[in-house]
Structure 1
């Protein structure tokens, strides 16, 4: 009998365990349902948000927490790498860590320091071993220098400091802060997996990071973007650094979202066409996106353009060879 960490192939042989990507959240900063749609409902009510009152979240792909990806990296042992720790992190742990049997987080990567990416940092302690004296190995956390400076103001108690004589020990998340550069050519290693930073514009005066990872399958994860920087776009394009096996891309292009067909931003699909990945999954959706209806539109678009594209959903797990 195969163990829980192994799969049985069609020929009956036991295959080695595979890595996987788990979408902990696929929604916008305010998450879905939008609270205003529930406390001050429109007439007719918002179809996407009103579903949350009648359909359990685990059965409703329109129920979306803040964007976050968990990489279950199997390079021998399983290592769990978390990208972003937003406002809904505790809910994501209760819902999807338990469902997918995720025992811990081995490292954290941050795309930027906005609320939907970092305000769950305090709850990292919930996925760390318990110690009333904080006597545990800290979790490595990778972020830009700008993000580090902002987080030091938001969470001063999470930045390691020596206690003053007689000062009470308080149990807090133990984190080992590691600075990465906004440069595609300066990779870093997190829990044995190599990541290449992908700087993109998030608004016209703010640089956010996406990440490229995987050797057997090349995956680009870009959760917050208004515009590609030319070096980054070239680096992950089919004609530049080589074709991506999977592109995970934000649909919320703030500058261009006035122009929709079936509520899918045209600039998102134009970017997919330029990059030409083998497959793309879209994240960051507001309540303007209906999972079922918009995926029907995307199926038609995919057949026409030859690039499979769909909206992702919370809890989605994709086996992948990294």
Structure 2
């Protein structure tokens, strides 16, 4: 079987399984998987920048929050329809990522990490400062009547699941196409050897900026959909914690792999969920698992499969 056929079978099989699980899962896991798919879409956006371009951002929460607040404020303040609010959320992420990319890409390495972290903290403090609109740490609830998209009530568990599935499937397939396109190949070349890519005549800055914008827009769309599906917008989603989460998910699943973000998000979500039912020190359990994976699967779970079983795994 060719690599192309394997790729179609693997990714198509995952999407078919997720579609079928809607009709099989009990209510608790049904809701969890919808949440995982949205958060995995956020991780997919982060993976475009970190896994495929080699740029480590510690400020991705600002993009997630930009999409969430762009959507939430459009609904809450301007009484926009959900479809228009989602466009506003994605647009907010596109603008923020473009501005941040133009400035942050003037640095490199550790400096890039610090600058993105500083931007994210500035965004978090801005949300708190304009608390009269954003409600600060308290956040605000999006009412059920405001979550009806084209006549579909997104507060209904079945509709919410399919909306989360549609987002995840779109992000997965777009990213799969992107990394196999010439643009994606250039990003990988920049990750592997930026100087050589520059020597070959590629505009490295333009490609890196495009990667930041694509990554930030996907993250923003995930944030907008998360707020709309689960009916809450709050400053906690702009905190440092939500910049660290996608990094952990991608490292666990396998940076630079298409399925890695989903695998890492699913693994970490249920690891914390199960361990929190046993002990209050559930983050210690998560930490031990992270150390073990770092020692025995340093390239992540999907990365280990690529290394040992299928070297052509995208």
Into which bin does the TM-score normalised by the smaller protein fall? under 0.3
Return the structure number with greater strand share. 1
TM-score (structure 1 length as normaliser): 0.22
TM-score by length of structure 2 reads 0.22
Which structure has the larger Rg over C-alpha atoms?
1
Larger RCO (CA within 8 A; separation ≥ 6):
2
Give the structure with the higher percent helix. 2
